[in-house]
Amino acid sequence: MILNDNIRRIQVMYLDRSPTSRLHALMKSFPALVVTGARQVGKSTLLLHALSKRADFVVFDPVFDVENARQDPDLFLNNHRTPLVLDEVQYAPELVAAVKRRIDRMRKPGQFVLTGSQQWGVLQSIAESLAGRAAFLDLEGLSLAEIAEEPTPSWLDAWLQSPSQFIKKRPKRLDLKIPLWEQLWRGWLPEAQFLPRELLPDFHAAYVRTYIERDARLLADVSDWQQFGRFFRLTAAMTSQETNYSHLGRELGLHPETSRRWLDILKATFQWHEIPSYSGNVLKRVSNKPKGYFADTGVACHAQAISSPHAIPSHPLWGALFETAVVGEIRKSCSLLSPRPNLYHWRSHGGAEVDLLLERDGILYPIEIKATSTPTRGDTSGIAAFRKTYPRLRIETGLVLAPTEKVLALTEYDFAVPWDVGP
């Protein structure tokens, strides 16, 4: 009855998710599928919507041993049919070995779906036990296309396949009902799209409190949780900047190693993402500082006490929040491509930079992100510097993604494109 009630509620509030077709395709070829992502990005909802008619569902708890799954995992599996969805499986790691034994006896595709919101908890146990047996699907918050109810293939794939054809087509913007500043303030968690504006601060406050007091506490030994909460809020202020552990620690009186460890917790729980730096020398790609991004702009706004959407355009973090949102869109689009392009950022010793570089088939695709409705030729200076620095590389048409109205040529090689462009 509870499951049926949840399904009915989801059908009313559910927005179609772009990864659904990929989920079905992976289940047709792999015995197990692992769906990972931050809390409340919609993992369980996606699976209930996509598999409710044919799968069995079990949700695990950090305190209670649901159906004695930890004590007797084989008996637990005997009492369930497949396909079997094991939700928050990091709370019952004993099951993974039993799942492996079942798969080895019968390598039938689509038997098990495992989900989790803690990267370490899920991947450490699964990567070894289910190597070669499981595929992985990363889920983030909603994309612009999903919010606009157009979860079709992303514009990014069309651009990577043929930049010239993509520009020639003059792609249109998505039909979005929520203005840019409010969307940044709401963020991308599915539930945040349906709540009245006056309840969003309460939603984000509960999200942060639950994350700090439950997820992070279970993952690591942190003695001062108030200090960790301050660290969480500080990382929101550092979004879209190069990661500097010494600076993070100095702001709160922490040792750089503590900052590194705490930032690893945020990464392990999908609250923080990093993009490595690019260099023509492969060895130097890992020697320069990565660029870090907070996962959800709505949570970041709450962490920085931004009280309303109208406060964003005059806030010092306006440009950083916009860049965070655009990079998130690119990251979500890349997760649907197979194989995924490599993502980098680039900064020269002289200060020139390119916000994003996508690399596929030996070709580099540069992207600049500008929080202006009127981008100009000057906004392509970083891309021009990159071309000059690496004249022998294959560098394709550059894009400047901005809150602009239409596609606009900025140079012979570079174009401004609306950040909310459709497929």
Identify the band that residue 6 occupies on the pLDDT scale cut at 50, 70 and 90. Answer: very low
Whether residue 376 contacts residue 410, with contact meaning beta carbons closer than 8 Å, is answered with yes
pLDDT score of 376: 96
Listing DSSP states for 141-206 in one string gives S--HHHHTT--SS-HHHHHHH-HHHHHHH-PPBP--SS-HHHHHHH-S-GGGGTS-GGGHHHHHHH
pLDDT score of 221: 63
pLDDT score of 5: 44
Highest mean pLDDT among 86-100, 118-132, 209-223, 318-332: 318-332
pLDDT at 151 over 80: no
For residue 366 the two structure tokens come to: 């540069």
Q: What is the pLDDT of residues 18-30, one digit of tens each?
A: 999 999 999 999 9
Mean pLDDT within 190-207: 95
pLDDT score of 26: 94
Whether residue 34 contacts residue 122, with contact meaning beta carbons closer than 8 Å, is answered with yes
Give strand pairing partners of 401.
369, 417
Mean pLDDT within 19-42: 92
Q: What is the pLDDT of residues 230-278, one digit of tens each?
A: 899 999 999 999 988 887 778 788 888 888 888 988 988 889 999 999 9
Q: Name the one residue in this structure whose structure tokens are 């990014």.
A: 156
pLDDT score of 15: 84
Report the chain's terminal Cα–Cα distance, integer Å.
39
pLDDT at 121 over 60: no
pLDDT at 367 over 80: yes
Q: Percentage helix, strand, coil, to 5, in the chain?
A: 45, 15, 35
Q: What is the pLDDT of residues 369-422, one digit of tens each?
A: 999 999 999 999 999 999 999 999 999 999 999 999 999 999 999 999 999 998
Higher-pLDDT residue of 317 and 6 is 317
User: With b meaning 16 or more CB within 10 Å and e meaning fewer, what string describes 303-342?
Assistant: bbebeebeebeeeebbebbbbbbbbbbbbbbbbbbeeebe
Higher-pLDDT residue of 128 and 85 is 85
Q: Name the one residue in this structure whose structure tokens are 């020639």.
A: 168
pLDDT score of 127: 63
Determine the number of helices (DSSP H) and then strands (DSSP E) in the chain: 18, 15
Helix/strand/coil (H/E/C) assignment for every residue in 198-253: HHHHHHHHHHHHHHHHHHHHHHCCCCCHHHHHHHHHHHHHCCCEECCHHHHHHHHC
Cβ atoms within 10 Å of 149's Cβ, excluding its own: 11
Whether residue 100 contacts residue 133, with contact meaning beta carbons closer than 8 Å, is answered with yes
pLDDT score of 98: 92
Q: Which CATH superfamily is domain 2-138 in?
A: P-loop containing nucleotide triphosphate hydrolases (3.40.50.300)
Domain ranges across the chain = 2-138, 144-418
Cβ atoms within 10 Å of 109's Cβ, excluding its own: 15
Give strand pairing partners of 369.
401
Longest dimension (CA), the chain: 66
pLDDT at 106 over 70: yes
Identify the band that residue 63 occupies on the pLDDT scale cut at 50, 70 and 90. Answer: confident
**Which are the contacts of 85, defined by CB distance < 8 A and separation ≥ 6?**
47, 51, 55, 56, 57, 58, 112, 113, 114, 115
pLDDT score of 128: 65
Mean pLDDT within 108-134: 76
Query: Where would I find the beta strands (DSSP E) of 264-373?
Result: 272-275, 291-294, 342-347, 353-360, 363-369
Whether the pTM exceeds 0.75: the reply is yes
pLDDT score of 220: 64
Higher-pLDDT residue of 19 and 282 is 19
Mean pLDDT within 201-217: 86
Peptide bond into 19 cis (omega under 30): no
Query: Where would I find the beta strands (DSSP E) of 248-315?
Result: 272-275, 291-294
Peptide bond into 83 cis (omega under 30): yes
Type and span of the H or E element at 121: helix 119-129
Type and span of the H or E element at 76: helix 73-78
pLDDT score of 225: 78
pLDDT at 219 over 70: no
